[in-house]
Structure 1
Amino acid sequence: LAEARGAVLSLKLDKMSDSISGQTVVDPKGYMTELNSLKITSDAEVGDIKKARLLLRSVTMTNPKHAPGWIAAARLEEVAGKVVQARKVIAEGCESCPTNEDVWLEAARLQTPENARTILATAVRHVPTSVKVWLQAAKLEPTDEATKLVLRRALEFIPNAVAIWKAVIELEDVDGARLMLGRAVECVPQSVDMWLALARLETYERAKQTLNKAGATIPTDHTIWIAAAKLEEANGKDAMVDKIIVHAMKRLRKYDVRIDRDTWLKEAEACEMADAPLTCAALVKHSLALGVDPEDQKRTWMDDADTSASRGAIVTAKAIYHHALQVFPTKKSIWLRAVALEKTQNGPRVMELLENAVQNCPQAEILWLMAAKEAWVGGSVEQARSILRQAFNANPNSEEIWLAAVKLEWENDEMERARALLAKARSQAPTARVWMKSVLLEREARTHGDGDAKAREEALLTEGRTRYPTFEKLHMMAGQFYEDLGDLDGARKHLRDGLASCPKSIALWKQLTRLEEKTKGEMKARSVLESGRLKNPKNPELWLEAIRLEARHHNDKGQENLMAKALQECPDAGILLAESIDIAPRTQQRRVSLTALKKKDNDPAVCLSVSKLFWNERKYSKARKWLERTVQLNPDFGDGWAYYYAFELKHGNELQREDILNRCIKAEPRHGDLWCSISKQTLNRKKKVGDVLKLVVASLPVINIPQVVAT
């Protein structure tokens, strides 16, 4: 029995003691936690307690100087509900291990507050340098004054205890804290926190002196230099900020202190949060290139800016872009990123950035166009004209700049100016798009009653189609022109001529289908679509048009057959999968939607159809979730925004409606069958995105038109 007990004890003690010094490596709190988890609910567990008591008794008798054994024995009695016995055991422990702070702390824990104070008063005589014991003794004092007395007494024994200095300083008023901190930095000169706390409580001049002393005492700590820079910035000494950071970098290098760039950038973000943007920018400027090869700088810095922006550190991200542009002033992509970030914050420097951008990247058309648009949106048409004139000088034959100049005049109802610019563009920089815009201008003029516009439009269409026979849009516009005039045979002829030149143009096939359906009925339209599918196999748009043709004429069987064939030929086409959900019988829609999602769960059209399914089933939270997914997947999909806004009109509140409207305006969608059918009407050309959204919503079958118009 003795040998068995010895073996068990050996195992326990091996875990509890160090093999060389014999000192404890056991966390007493671990013992406590383990014992706390015991619940005595059966005779077996009572037996376990007895065994544990015998074992721990053996431990304390064998090695009475082993403090964790006493702590565990006391905790065992406490768990067993014998608090008095626990106090007796730990009292023995205090006698056996008078220099162990954990035993005294455990003894105090097991007592009432009054008795605990007495025990800790005894403890500090045995372990006068124990920070834990002094802090616990102070904590038990009933008043702040008594607590301060205990802590000050502690400092007489351990004047270098930072934790005690912090505890006593927290109890002081501002003047008292200043005095205590002055003494603290003498006693613990290596404590950066003490120096910084003292500097924060001092006047500007005295704070400078304090930080200078701190820097001299602890020359290897960068936070002191950052605090000095922030101090200068807070007191309007902006020019000093950069000098201090430069000096800091030199001093740290002198003492061979190596701080990686990630740490510096995190410090920069912390300065931003502390409302010290100049210090933030200086840190970025002087640390960004650390450890980065020149060929990797641009990519690395862009990643840094993205990371900072994602954490909400916008000033840091702007500082990164600013420094990157100092190094790479001719990189268009960096200018675009910097401008985009400024715009997301509605920053005042957008125009300034764009002006600098076009000076450094004069051949970057997009920067000129953005600058002109910014001026125009800001209400300065003349400034926009001036920018575009400069853009012409830098890019004399740019189609984009010609068309931007035309749009500026057109949007401001300067039709003659726009017409003159287009005429000049057709002679100096002729392109198919220039011709198309010329036709659109005359179409609008014709719509508004200009009697001469019809002849000009027809002449432009004739010449444009001759010059650019493979540009489908001119053929489509010719068909629309003659259809508007009531010359359906002429429209048909021009569309067929267009298809002869552009047999792959799906839009032309669809337009001819609609014309034939209107004039000669569904049989002829069906024939056109079959021809189109022969020349353009596996095209989901033509299949969709054929399916919808049958739906318009209530041919359910034909619609079903065509859908089956379409999905065989184009099994992963999102628009077909979405339509299959919409037209499925109500009892089968759930199954069809699951099939569609398995094939194409990231297609906005499919997600929109799923949201409509949940809407019809009155599962509004799920419908909202799928509508949100739709617009997240493709913010350019106008139909998704229209249904989302319609949904909130029916089932949302004013805040939700306003949010969707504003997000749609910001996204500026341009695609979607329903969206384009409204936005591309001549009468709606100048309407703002929000107005177009409401018109599209008003055309939906799920909404009450007067309600939308009123909204």
Structure 2
Amino acid sequence: MSRQGARPTPLPPGVKVDFNTLKAPAGYVAGAGRGAAGFTTRSDIGPSMPAPDAVKDKGDEGADESKFDAFLGNDAGVLGQTGVYDEEDREADEVWDHIEDRMDERRKEKREAKLKEELEKFRAENPKISEQFADLKRKLADVPVDQWEAIPDIGDYTIKKQKHLDRFTPVPDSLLASAAAREATATAIDASGLATPMGGTTTDLTAIGAGRNTVVQLKLDKISDSVSGQTVVDPKGYLTDLKSVTLKSDAEISDIKKARLLLKSVIQTNPRHAPGWIAAARLEEVAGKLQQARELMMKGCELCPSNEDVWLEAARLQTPENAKAILARGVAALPDSVKLWMQAARLEQSDGAKKRVLLRALERIPQSVRLWKAVVEISEEDDARVLLSRAVECCPQHVELWLALARLETYENARKVLNKARQVVPTSAEVWITASKLEEANGQAAMPEIEKIIPRGIKSLAANDVVIDRDWWLKEAESSEKSQPPMAATCRAIVKEVVGHGVEEQDRKRTWMADAEECMRRGSIETARAIYAHALSVFPGKKSIWRRAAQLEKAHGSREGLDALLKKAVQYCPQAEVLWLMAAKEKWLSGDVAGARSILEEAFIRNPDAEEIWLAAFKVEFENSELDRARLILAKAREHQPASTARVWMKSAMVEREAGDAGAERGLLQEGIRRFPYFWKMHIMLGQLEERLGNTDAARLAYAAGIKRCMDAIALWVAAARLEERAGNVAKARALLEQARLKNPKTPQLWLAAVRTELRAQNAKAADALMAKALQDCPDSGVLWAESINMAPRPQRKSRSVDALKKCNDDPHVVAAVAGLFWSDRKVDKARSWFNRAVTLNPDVGDFWAAYYKFESQFGGPEQQEAVLRRFLAAEPRYGEHWQCIAKDPASAHQRQEVLLRQVVADLDREL
């Protein structure tokens, strides 16, 4: 396209035109389109010819507006003079603009990359102050508190001399004399002074000194005086006591004065207002004027004798002896005040004196439960029984008095007391619960009476319009379980009656399971067991309830109870394979192999097609080194079509591997692969078999066939790469792992295998580069971050661990790596805490337990090692790189868990 309005005549194809030989058009001026007016020479200064229309002065307001173009403005050039800017020209400009934008986009990435590279180079050469000290700032988190506090203050190093505003002037004797005159109490007028010509008296320095001593003595008396009666100043501790004196600021003194005026107005306006007197006295106490506070409260007692708070406040401010006198006056004025009598009893030193005061109080206030409880607490058992007998007569509606009396009585008398209490207080649930506990505590648990008390109680309470609170009754069941001695029968009776109260029928199973879990979390095992028992009585065919109940018995019950429970479970749920397996396993763990076999035989009859039952029977024989019986069971399973699964063929090969028959093992694996070509474990077992026999090519073919069928089997890719690496083909191993990453993107295990391949090949830089790419591809992978921490140089491990915790704080691999970092730094407590956190987050990884046990073997005692071993045996781990290498080794077959743990610990030592 052209910028001119006229479109030129197109030339035939293949014809070229030499534009230099063409004649210029009429009126053509070179450069006119760019604003040029002509050409000049040295001898001829100025334009050779005038422009077609010279542009007028820019300041001229009469410029030619006809030359203005919407696209080019006043500088329209040739188009403004000779042509018209039409839609075709605009379209051409848009095309050129798009081309320019496209070219700019093509250069953008390269330009931005270059800019980024220059910026990174600049930042590397000129780091920020914060970046230079980043590692030091991280170390500040480990600085203990005592070192922080030991940092000295920098002091004042200002150059300018500061203006001191404080001025200290000695106090003249005239002020001391005036202070002595104000503070001293004069009893007579002394006119012994010498008269002066002006009619005054001369200054007596001796009197001034005596007055000053009087003022100081009065202040010391005020400081030393207290409610406890101390009026003597300790000469040795005098300076120490002065430090405890609070110096009030001017603002505080001003606030005290304002409050004093306000409260003075209150007590003068309404002298019968007791809170005003109390507030005024406490203000004076805060101000350090204890004597004034006492005087105010005594006036308050005179003006408000019917308010018990005034008497209590006055007694609090006095010494103990004076307080007794004040309280005596108080109880004379208010003989029915329980607070005054209780305070008077507290002031007595001996229990006998307290008892006398309380008995006198009960003569005036026999219906006070608080007084009865106080006097019973300080009485002997026989006296307490007599007092409680009188108390229940005076306060028959208070259940706690009846219960206290029942606890002190004999069994027969206690039953009578509780029966009478039920009649007097028919709305009390505590009486019924106590009656049930009484029967259980006296050996009546086997009687049906104990199972009748709680139902009768609930029925009686409902008849008396008492709302049955399910949660409250369940808490009482837990309290019965945790009482001393435990009341298990009462607990079960309460649960049986109230656990279904107010629960919708469709929500019963879910609600009961939640209740049982909450009770287990709080340690109320018997309550949870009772809830499961009731749930099983309602839903006997629910295998999930049986499983949870069995887990409870296994963790907190006896082996006999667990066997009985599982025996009932398989009777009610004969099709539940997991219950049969649990029953057989418990028999096997207890050493009863014959019992486990009998359970599995019965399970075969009920579930002939269950793969798990066949494999469980095989495991019993295999773990007891009965290879012939195990081989026979698996042969029958392979012949039985529903049970002939890939796992059965794999276990058959494992038996032959244990027996050492490589040919039979190969045949079983090849037949199993033919039947189940996508079961990757048999492919890897075949490759491992060929590796053990030294057939590298056959192993390579086995791995290749497995990868071809199971491209998502990461273990196959890693095994094939390790085979090539051991054969010396590191390049081929790299290629295999790279191909695996293309087929299985964002897989941390493949990145980890590639990094370790480079580390074993002594290519540290390549390993670091691969680790950087791996963390970009899988930024949340704990195994990669843990390996990155272990790969980092020692000074950088701490910062690397901080970065790892930011990305995946709760990943057990990262936590275990951080624990190892603390271990290497000899920070024992922190390392122990982090190892405990790692095994808590994922107890199925045996490597964590091995590292934890090794740490405790080095730094812990026998008790700590035993605790770790006990937790390890309960966890029964199955995973972990080192753990699986040891546990699946044929040489370690049939070994106990603790033996395997020590072998893994030894393997960790060899790696270190």
Letter in 2 for 1:131: V
Look up the match of 2:531.
320
Distance, in Å, in 1 between the alignment partners of 2:295 and 2:773 is 89
Instruction: Decide whether aligned partners of structure 1 residues 109 and 565 sit closer, same or farther in structure 2, where only a CA change above 3 A counts.
Output: closer
Deviation track 1:471-490 (CA, whole Å, cap 9, x = no partner) reads: 11111111122222222222
For the residues of structure 2 that align with 1:43 and 1:476, how far apart are their CA atoms? 88
Instruction: Give the drift of 1:613.
Output: 2.8
Following superposition, the deviation at residue 648 of structure 1 comes to 1.9
Partners of 2:462 and 2:468 within 8 A in 1: no
* 1:387 corresponding residue in structure 2: 599
Whole-angstrom distance in 2 between the partners of 1:502 and 1:78: 87
The residue correspondences of 1:551-630 to structure 2 (distance < 5 A) are: 551-630=759-838
Taking the TM superposition and a 5 Å limit, the aligned residue runs for 1:675-686 are 675-686=883-894
Deviations 1:227-275 (A, max 9, x none): 0110111112222222111011111111111132111111111111111
For structure 2, the 5+ residue unaligned runs are 1-243
TM-score, normalising length: structure 1 = 0.89
Matched, 1:107 2:314: yes
Letter of the aligned partner of 1:434 in structure 2? V
Whole-Å separation in 2 of the counterparts to 1:231 and 1:632:
43
Shift of 1:47: 4.3
Could you say what secondary structure the match of 1:289 adopts?
coil
Decide whether aligned partners of structure 1 residues 207 and 582 sit closer, same or farther in structure 2, where only a CA change above 3 A counts.
Answer: same
C-alpha distance 518-40 of structure 1, shift in aligned 2 (>3 A): closer
Runs of 4+ displaced beyond 6 Å: none
What does residue 302 of structure 1 align with?
513
Q: Distance in 1 between matches of 2:901 and 2:840?
A: 17
Aligned-residue offset at 1:52: 2.9
Q: Pairwise mapping of residues 447-466 of structure 1 onto structure 2 (< 5 A)?
A: 453-466=661-674
Please state how far the C-alpha of 1:520 moved relative to its aligned partner: 4.2
- Once the two structures are superposed, what CA deviation does each residue of 1:283-324 show, in whole Å capped at 9, x if it has no partner? 111111122211111111111112111111111111111111
SS for the counterpart of 1:124 is: helix
Match of 2:648 among 425, 434, 437: 434
2:543 maps to which of 322, 332, 339: 332
| 1:288 has 2:499 as partner | yes
Deviations 1:623-656 (A, max 9, x none): 3333222211111111111222222222223222
Matched, 1:373 2:585: yes
Distance 1:44 1:581, change over 3 A: closer
Q: 1:251 and 1:519, CA in 2 relative to 1: closer, same or farther beyond 3 A?
A: same
Name the CA distance, whole Å, in 2 between partners of 1:480 and 1:51: 94
Q: 1:163 to 1:462 in 2, by over 3 A?
A: same
> Aligned partners of 2:417 and 2:276: how far apart in 1?
49
Residue 423 of structure 2 is aligned to residue 212 of structure 1: no
Cα deviation, residue 133, structure 1: 0.8
- The count of aligned residue pairs is 662
Residues 485 and 227 of structure 1, relative CA distance in 2, 3 Å threshold: same
Structure-1 separation of matches of 2:813 and 2:859: 22
Q: In the superposition, relative to structure 1, how do residues 539 and 170 fare at CA in structure 2: closer, same or farther (>3 Å)?
A: closer
How far does residue 69 in structure 1 lie from its aligned partner after superposition? 1.5
User: 385, 396, 403: which one pairs with 1:189?
Assistant: 396
Counterpart contact for 1:71–1:90, Cα < 8 Å: yes
C-alpha separation in 1, matches of 2:603 and 2:408: 56
Number of the residue aligned with 2:225: none
Deviation, structure 1 residue 44:
4.7
Q: Which residue of 1 aligns with 2:296?
A: 89
Kindly report which structure 2 residues correspond to 1:382-421, keeping only aligned pairs within 5 A, or say none. 382-421=594-633
The aligned amino acid for 1:109 is R
Corresponding position of 1:708: none
For residue 488 of structure 1, the aligned residue among 669, 673, 696 is 696
- How far 1:535 sits from its partner (Å)? 2.8
2:749 alignment partner in structure 1: 541
1:683/1:118 CA distance change after superposition, 3 Å: same
- Alpha-carbon distance in structure 1 between the residues aligned to 2:245 and 2:373: 38
Show the 5 A alignment for 1:36-47: 41-47=248-254
Looking at structure 1, the residues matched to 545 and 715 of structure 2 have their Cα atoms a distance apart, in angstroms, of 38
Which residue number in structure 1 is paired with residue 137 of structure 2?
none
Please report the TM-score for the alignment, with normalisation by the length of structure 2: 0.70
The partner residue of 2:659 within 424, 445, 455 is 445
Deviations along 1:148-193, one digit per CA (max 9) or x if unpaired, are 2221121121110001111111222111111111110000001111
Q: Which amino acid aligns with 2:612?
A: E
- Identify which of 471, 477, 481 aligns with 1:262: 471
Distance 2:766 2:287 in 1: 82
By how many angstroms is 1:38 displaced? 12
Aligned AA for 2:434?
Answer: A
Check the 8 A contact 1:697/1:703 in 2, yes or no. no
Aligned residue identity for 1:240: E
User: Kindly tell me: are residues 306 and 460 of structure 1, through their superposed partners in 2, closer, same or farther at Cα, counting changes over 3 Å?
Assistant: same
Counterpart residue identity of residue 665, structure 2: E
Mapped to 1, the partners of 2:810 and 2:315 lie a distance apart of 63
Q: For residue 199 of structure 1, report the CA deviation from its aligned partner.
A: 0.4
Higher helix share: 1
User: Which amino acid in structure 1 is aligned with residue 296 of structure 2?
Assistant: V
Aligned pairs for 1:460-539 within 5 A: 460-539=668-747
- Distance in 2 (CA, whole Å) between partners of 1:488 and 1:46 is 96
Task: Give the structure 2 partner of residue 224 of structure 1.
Answer: 431
How many angstroms apart in 2 are the aligned matches of 1:618 and 1:703?
20
Could you report, residue by residue, the CA deviation over 1:459-504 in whole angstroms, capped at 9, with x for unpaired residues? 2122212111111111111112222222222222222222222232
Q: Which sits farther off after the overlay, 571-580 or 552-561?
A: 571-580
Provide the rounded CA distance (Å) in 2 between the counterparts of 1:310 and 1:411.
35
Where structure 1 has 5 or more consecutive residues not aligned to the other structure, the ranges are 1-36, 447-452, 705-711
Q: Which amino acid aligns with 2:494?
A: L
Instruction: Please say if residues 40 and 80 of structure 1, whose CA atoms lie closer than 8 Å, have aligned partners that are also in contact.
Output: no
Distance 1:571 1:172 in 2: 72
1:199 maps onto 2:406 in alignment: yes
Match of residue 352, structure 1, among 548, 564, 575: 564
Q: Which moved more, 1:39-48 or 1:537-546?
A: 39-48
Instruction: Quote the residue 2:324 is aligned against.
Output: 117
Aligned equivalents of 2:376, 2:714: Cα separation in 1: 79
The question of 1:672 aligning with 2:844 is answered no
Whether contact under 8 Å (2:774, 2:784) holds in the other structure is yes
CA shift, 1:72, in A, is 2.0
| Counterpart-to-counterpart distance in 1, 2:818 and 2:247 | 56
Distance, in Å, in 1 between the alignment partners of 2:799 and 2:254 is: 61
Identify the residue that residue 903 of structure 2 maps to in structure 1.
Answer: 695
What is the alpha-carbon distance in structure 1 between the residues aligned to residue 590 and residue 764 of structure 2? 53
Pairing 1:53–2:267 present: no
Shift of 1:701: 4.0
Partner of 1:30: none
In the alignment, the residues of structure 1 paired with residue 742 and residue 508 of structure 2 have an alpha-carbon distance, to the nearest angstrom, of: 53
Q: Percent identity?
A: 56
Distance 1:539 1:272 in 2: 52
Distance 2:681 2:381 in 1: 77
Relative to structure 1, is the Cα distance of residues 104 and 424 closer, same or farther in structure 2, using a 3 angstrom cutoff?
same
Name whichever of 563-572 and 690-699 sits farther off.
Answer: 563-572
SS of 1:699's equivalent? helix
2 CA distance for matches of 1:597 and 1:75? 55
Deviations 1:348-397 (A, max 9, x none): 42112211211121111111111111111111111111111111121111
Q: State the shift of 1:67 in Å.
A: 1.2
Matched, 1:152 2:359: yes
Q: CA shift at 1:39, angstroms?
A: 5.5
Q: 1: CA distance between counterparts of 2:609 and 2:333?
A: 92
Residue 700 of structure 1 aligns to a residue in which SS? Answer: helix
The separation in 2 between residues aligned to 1:159 and 1:187, in whole angstroms, is 6
Is the Cα–Cα contact under 8 Å of residues 40 and 46 in structure 1 kept in the other structure? no
Tell me if the contact between 2:615 and 2:648 (Cα under 8 Å) persists in the aligned partners. yes
Deviates more, 1:222-231 or 1:347-356: 347-356
